Amino acid sequence: MNFVIIVAAGTGSRMNSDLPKQFLDLNGVPVIMHTIDHFHQSSAISEIILVISKEMEQFWTDLCLKQHYRTPVHLAFGGDTRFASVKNGLAYIQKNFELGTNDYIAVHDGARPIVSSSLIARAFQGAYEHQAIVLARKSIESVRTGNSTSNNAVDRNQVWLVQTPQVFHAELLTRAYCQKEDPLFTDDASVVEKLGNRIAIVEGDAKNIKITYPQDLQIAQFYLNLIKK
């Protein structure tokens, strides 16, 4: 079985809006509904686990009723960090399904609504081959490391900008998330890597942006319209 945990329990502090960014309007539909739709349309996915914050539960229920959205998602509740939210999603899977050796789990940011079925398929293919993969793109900008007064150039061909979905063999991901939370974990590959496992890179897509700042909604709108054409 293939699962996806869509994490959507963040507050979106950089967006600076009243409503968390994953619930903001994108082409007449909340961002998160676009995200979920792509996974529904993907034949690679058997079960969708949506992780939202407990405070947004009523909002989510009202949203589904209002939009007659009969999405068969499993609902889990998030924590204070992305790590905690993914961990709760994993706990939901472990409680409600019996995981086997052929099972894989993808983790996806709810704030990435332009993910496509072909990208999801590519990510899973990579995971079947390598057990632990991230989608990523090479940096198109020149890169420096350090701080504003002391820094060095880095070969940009060695720098990968990481996206989601990230896909892992189920047993590997659940084992990795048993470890202690670390504020440096901003994705799942960092957690799995701590076990000593190698992470393979699968080519991502420039359109698979993470909505972070207000202007990203306009960029996402542009990409959505482009895809529809």
With CB under 6 A as the contact rule, the residue among 8, 26, 115, 202 that binds ligand CTP is 8
With CB under 6 A as the contact rule, the residue among 34, 60, 104, 109 that binds ligand CTP is 109
In degrees, rounded to 5, the angle at the alpha carbon of residue 200 between the alpha carbons of residues 127 and 128 is 15
Q: How many angstroms separate the CA atoms of 204 and 216, rounded? A: 18
**Beta-carbon contacts of residue 98 (< 8 Å; ≥ 6 apart):** none
Contact 187, 81 (CB under 8 A): no
Instruction: Pick between residue 78 and residue 204 the one whose CB is nearest to ligand CTP.
Output: 78
Instruction: Pick between residue 154 and residue 161 the one whose CB is nearest to ligand CTP.
Output: 161
Instruction: Pick between residue 100 and residue 183 the one whose CB is nearest to ligand CTP.
Output: 183
Task: Indicate the pairing of strand 132-138 with strand 47-52.
Answer: unpaired
Residue 11 contacts ligand CTP per CB under 6 A: yes
Residue 14 contacts ligand CTP per CB under 6 A: yes
Other Cβ atoms closer than 10 A to 46: 12
Q: How many angstroms separate the CA atoms of 28 and 48, rounded? A: 23
With CB under 6 A as the contact rule, the residue among 33, 51, 173, 192 that binds ligand CTP is 51
Residue 22 contacts ligand CTP per CB under 6 A: yes
Site for ligand CTP, rule CB under 6 A: 7-14, 22, 51, 78-82, 85, 109-111, 210, 212
